[in-house]
Structure 1
Amino acid sequence: MKFLIPLALEELSINILAEGDYYCGDLLKVVLMSEETFWINSPKLAAELSELITSNWQTLTEEAPELLKEYLLWKKRL
């Protein structure tokens, strides 16, 4: 995780709705579903993810509101 999440965040900074193999936004969904302990132990990466979501709020609202719900659940878990 400590190597993959930074790569995923880099890709998400280019395109918040980046696709893996399945659908638009699946990379973000997988990142948000990562283990809580990783995020608790990596506060800088958690802050980076939050900043990415915040800076892309409008895009997510319009194109993938379900990912905003996932983000809010992620925030609650931390």
Structure 2
Amino acid sequence: MLSVPAASVARAHAGAIAIGRVVLRCRRSASRIAARLRREEHGVAGEPSGRRVKLPRCGGIPGELRDGWPTPPVEASRLVSTVHNLRRQPIGELTVEDMRLLIGQDVGLGYLLPLALEVLRDDPMAEGDMYEGDLLAAVVTRSPAVWNEWPELGRELGVIVSELTDLPPSLMQETGRFLAR
């Protein structure tokens, strides 16, 4: 897990409140566009076409949050370098895989969880590069403190998860732990 300076966390929280209003206004648009793009992404027999799924640009991570991290050292792992690069991308250009990776590292949760829930509402088994349902797994495995900070997002995720059936065993365990929190 990446270590983030406390000042960055405080700025992220303040920024999340401001951005939250913009994200909420864009929900209907985001849902329609994301669903259309996911339908277009799959060709015959559900095979991925290779097209990147882009979420609508309803704002980006504020500059002070994007720029708050130093440049990763040359010897940084691929994961660390990727996370640093993704923080510079506009939110509307992040793919399901990008969101999965950032959420899994607890980066930008105030901005990314609402977008991830939009995707999961339409396609609970949305997948990045790992496996079917990997975005859901990244979201439900966030610490209980995350859901205490954003209880309305936790309730919304609870509704999505409670309606799922026939999940793979590992994802069933993770969603069960989430619901039991």
TM range (shorter): 0.7 to 0.9
Runs of 4 or more, structure 1, over 6 Å off, are none
Q: Please say if residues 18 and 27 of structure 1, whose CA atoms lie closer than 8 Å, have aligned partners that are also in contact.
A: yes
CA distance in 1, matches of 2:125, 2:146: 22
Deviations 1:38-61 (A, max 9, x none): 111111100000101122x23xx2
Query: 1:12 touches 1:28 (CA, 8 Å); kept in 2?
Result: yes
Two-structure CA RMSD over aligned residues (Å): 1.4
Q: How does 1:1-78 map to 2 (within 5 A)?
A: 1-55=109-163, 57-58=164-165, 61=166, 63-76=167-180, 78=181
| Cα shift readout 1:52-72 (whole Å, capped 9, x = no counterpart) | 1122x23xx2x4343221111
Structure 1 gap segments, 5+ residues each: none
Q: Larger % of helix: which? A: 1
**SS at the partner of 1:31?**
helix
Tell me the SS of whatever aligns to 2:142: coil
Give TM-score, length-normalised by structure 2.
0.38
Query: Whose RCO is larger (CA < 8 A, sep 6+)?
Result: 1
Matched residues, number: 73
| Equivalent pair of 1:17/1:27 in contact (CA under 8 Å) | yes
